[in-house]
Amino acid sequence: MKNIFTLILTASLFFSCGSQEKMIEKKEETIQEKSDSKPKLIVGIVVDQMRYDYLTRFEAKFGEGGFKRMIREGFNCKNNHFNYIPTKTAAGHASIYTGTTPRYHGIIGNSWFDKTINESVYCVRDNSYESVGTASTDGQMSPHRMTTTTFSDENRLFTQMQGKTIGISIKDRGAVLPAGHSANAAYWFRGKDEGAWISSTFYMNALPKWVNDFNASNISSDYLKEWNTLYPIETYTESGNDLNNFEDGFKSKTTATFPYDLKVLSKDNGGYDILKSTPYGNSLTTDFAIAAIEGEQLGKDNHTDVLTVSFSSTDYVGHNFGVNAKETHDTYLRLDKDLERFFNYLDSYVGEGEYTVFLTADHGAPYVPAFLNSHRIPGGLLDFNTLKADLNELLLSKFNTNDLVLKISNEQVFLNHEAITSNNIELADVENTIINKLLDYEMVNKAFKGGIVNNSAFQDGVELLLKNGYNQKRSGDIVIVMESSVFSDGPWNKKGTDHGSGYVYDTHVPLLFFGAGIKQGETYKKTVITDIAPTISALLGISFPNGTTGNVLGFIID
Catalytic residue at 89? yes
Q: What separation in angstroms does the CA of 379 have from each of 73, 320, 498?
A: 39, 18, 12
Continuous segment of H or E residues that includes residue 393? helix 384-399
User: Can you tell me the distance from the alpha carbon of 255 to that of 405, in angstroms, rounded to the nearest whole number?
Assistant: 40
- For 498-516, what is the HEC assignment? CCCCCCHHHHECCEEEEEC
Phi then psi for 240, rounded to 5 degrees? -80, -175
Crossing angle of helices 384-399 and 427-438, rounded to 10°: 130
User: Can you tell me the distance from the alpha carbon of 501 to that of 490, in angstroms, rounded to the nearest whole number?
Assistant: 17
Q: Is the dihedral of CA 9, 14, 19, 21 positive or negative?
A: positive
Strand partners, 503: none
Q: Are 174 and 93 in contact (CB under 8 A)?
A: yes
Alpha carbon 57 to chain centroid, angstroms: 22
Angle at 548 between CA 544 and CA 549, to 5 degrees: 135
Q: Are 126 and 395 in contact (CB under 8 A)?
A: no
Count the Cβ atoms, other than its own, within 10 Å of residue 473. Answer: 10
Q: What separation in angstroms does the CA of 425 have from each of 417, 422, 475, 476?
A: 10, 8, 21, 18
Phi then psi for 307, rounded to 5 degrees? -120, 120
| DSSP symbols for 111-176 | EEEETTTTEEEETTB-TTS-EES-SSSTT-B-STT--S--HHHHHHHHTTT-S-EEEEESSHHHHH
**6, 56, 87, 89: the active-site residue:** 89
- Radius of gyration (Cα) for the chain, nearest Å? 26
User: Can you tell me the distance from the alpha carbon of 492 to that of 490, in angstroms, rounded to the nearest whole number?
Assistant: 5
Cis (ω within 30 of 0) for the bond into 534?
Answer: no
Question: For the chain, how many residues are written?
Answer: 558
Residues with a catalytic annotation lie at 89
